[in-house]
Structure 1
Amino acid sequence: MSQEESLQPVIDFIRELDKLKGVERKTRPLGLARFENSAEHSWQIAVLAMVLSRFAERPIKIERVVSMLLLHDIGEIDTGDTIAYATEGLEQRKAAEHAAVKRISSILRSQAGGPFLELWDEFEAAETPEAQFAHAMDRSIPIILNLANNGQSWRENGIRYEQVLKRNGPAVQAGCPALWAYLQQQLDEAQNSGWFGSIEDCISQA
């Protein structure tokens, strides 16, 4: 195999990943009017994991965590992003996302596609220390940004305080208890400040 032949799948893969920059999420970057994209989200949680690795509940291999976080949303190139609090059709969405990751990874042919799909599966299963810590980072970033944005996406999407606790608390607690203790205190203060949606908001959007 020539050098050009070995490099082309990598270039094709990277070009495909560029599409993740066009996948819009529900949270706005601080100080900007637009919404963040999934590529920005993946980069930010990878950095957060590096900085907070010493607070992990169990010993972890941080390189594996970072790899998971950089890859965990690439399936959204095909499926788009869905707000974390939407539970209807979750199983079907995850199946579609798995198929998308398999398709995207196959662009690399035999070079790295298999391991990338394995990392995605490990993240989704959330059973290893690395996957649990990665989940803690993934669930925390939207909270951190909303706390800095006066609850922007919570208010805009009618997300209630109880939903945020139920959806994120167990995952963050399992992977990084110190971070959840900090966030829970901040969430209580946000509740007192009226930064969450209400039941009426949820009904009006149904």
Structure 2
Amino acid sequence: MISDQLLQQIEFIKEIDKLKYIQRKTKLLNSDRNENDAEHSWHLALMAIVLAEHANEPVDVLKVVKMVLIHDIVEIDAGDTFIYDTQKNHSNTDEERLAAQRIFGLLPQAQADELIAIWEEFEAGETKEAKFARSMDRLEPLLQNTSNNGGTWAEFDVPYEKVYQKKSVIKEGSTTIWNYAENVLNENVEKGILKKA
């Protein structure tokens, strides 16, 4: 006999396949193809594993990996909000909270509660794991845009100051990685890719 728990878990697994269809504004490194949310989450998970030694404080890497793998699942319902969007705030919305409850709610209660709590912790950005996970989330598109001659920065005419402000979150999770990122941003200014207002 197949348990209800397994059936709920399979339903969740089938539902999150939709993440592969959520297109992001950023393009893959050295590419003109837009990245999808599933690719983004996978990339962040590996980045977290590889770069964990650079976190400001020792982190629970498994928890960070869980955070980056699930942080955008809500976009199945809520859609992707571009970080530099001038119309819609990129921060947590009621729409995303409803999406988290619906999608994670497909799981057995204990698992649903755990993943909702992890998602909320990431969104709050206050724990050392959340800070490091968020630093990964801000680093990846920086690498992508740099590899694509400005990528979305150029496409949407995003000024250096706005990019700097959004990327400075990296230092909360890793000053070492922030030093690297800041150098990359300055190089982009010198090359004329990022323009100061």
If the length of structure 2 is used for normalisation, what is the TM-score?
0.94
Structure 1 unaligned regions, length at least 5? 200-206
Structure 1 segment 142-157 matched on structure 2, within 5 A? 142-157=141-156
Equivalent pairs counted in the alignment come to: 197
Q: Quote the offset at 1:124 in angstroms.
A: 0.7
Cα offsets for 1:67-109 (capped at 9, x unmatched)? 0110000000001111112254428862211110110011013
CA distance in 2, matches of 1:87, 1:31: 26
Which aligned pairs between 1:1-206 and structure 2 lie closer than 5 A?
Answer: 2-86=1-85, 88-90=87-89, 94-169=93-168, 171-196=169-194
In 1, Cα distance between equivalents of 2:56 and 2:7: 41
- Structure 2: which amino acid aligns with 1:72? H
SS in 2 for 1:81: coil
Cα deviation, residue 129, structure 1: 0.5
The root-mean-square deviation of aligned C-alpha atoms, in Å, is 1.7
Shift of 1:174: 0.8
- In 2, the alpha carbon distance for the partners of 1:164 and 1:53 equals 24
Extract structure 1 runs of 4+ deviating beyond 6 A: none
User: Quick check: 43-52 or 189-198, which moved more?
Assistant: 189-198
User: Deviation at 1:197?
Assistant: 5.9
Structure with the higher fraction of residues in strand conformation: 2
Q: 1:29 to 1:196 in 2, by over 3 A?
A: same
Identity of aligned residues (%): 39
Q: C-alpha offsets along residues 13-66 of structure 1, whole Å, 9 cap, x if unaligned?
A: 011101011111111112433210011111101110111101100121010000
* Residue of structure 2 in register with 1:203 after alignment: none
Looking at secondary structure, tell me which structure has more helix per residue.
1
Q: Which runs of no fewer than 5 residues in structure 2 stay unpaired?
A: none
- 1:100 and 1:110 map into 2 onto residues whose CA distance is 16
SS at match of 2:35: coil
- Per the alignment, residue 204 of structure 1 pairs with none
Aligned residue identity for 1:152: G
- Between 1:82-91 and 1:174-183, the stretch displaced more is 82-91
Q: Supply the AA of the counterpart residue of 1:21.
A: K
| TM norm structure 1 | 0.90
- Check 1:198–1:22 CA distance in 2 against 1; reply closer, same or farther (3 A cut): farther
- Judged with a 3 Å threshold, the aligned counterparts in structure 2 of structure 1 residues 53 and 13 are, in CA distance, closer, same or farther, namely same
CA displacement 1:103-143 (0-9 Å, x = unmatched): 00110132411100000100011111000100111111100
